[in-house]
A and B are shown apart, each in its own frame.
Chain A
């Protein structure tokens, strides 16, 4: 499959704890993105990290990228019940006929208990 692998498939934590989700991919990337989906609704873009970057922060989110291992991780610190959602990594493809296309991973279902 061209889709990335994510682990864990499901994660259940208590409010205040940190949540870490991992994403691996097989082919070269232009960038790696993370999206959030609430209850089967539309996706919301969270953060993008480019292939020449190693770490990026946005609020309580921290993303790392290791291109040698073809993997990325998303860390949500001090989680809240409102963070409960599905999280997907998406590989931004190189140019040419793949310009603008995204390839999504399988996703991690995060449940944060109050």
Chain B
């Protein structure tokens, strides 16, 4: 199984600012995913990030708001731009286990926007 770390683990930010979340995996993986989990809610997929190509965003999420980088097979970043209190959520990255079925998840980044 893959071990995934995220930085920061939590942050409190002011509205209008941006935060970049890092996701590091201990092995090379092709597919990485970014999810948002709003308070008391389930996970919603933001985008799929494959190394060497542009991230693919789900309906309701746009690159200007959530730019993603995937510079190599073990690392990705998600930026939450021009934040508002509605962006307060847990942001989780995950990686495909190798067969396009199960995923391994990072511990999440808990974001509070004031």
Contacts and interface: CB of A to CB of B under 8 A. Distances in A.
A81 interface: no
Contacts of B41: 106
A43 B43 CA distance: 10
B103 A45 contact: yes
A101 B45 contact: yes
B42 A3 contact: yes
What is the predominant secondary structure among interface residues of chain B facing chain A? strand
B31 A104 contact: no
A92 B101 contact: yes
Given A40-B90, A42-B4, A104 B105 contact: no
A58 to B, nearest CB: 13
Interface in B92-112: 92, 94, 96-97, 100-108, 110
A102 B45 contact: yes
Q: Which of under 10, 10 to 19, 20 to 34, or 35 or more describes the interface residues of A?
A: 20 to 34
Given A43-B92, A107-B42, A100 B31 contact: yes
Interface string A79-114: 000000000100010010101111111110000000
Nearest to A89: B42
Interface of A: 3, 30-31, 33, 35, 40-45, 48, 88, 92, 95, 97, 99-107
Given A41-B108, A103-B45, 16 more contacts: A3-B42, A31-B101, A33-B101, A35-B105, A40-B37, A40-B108, A40-B110, A43-B43, A43-B92, A48-B101, A100-B31, A100-B48, A100-B100, A102-B45, A104-B42, A104-B44
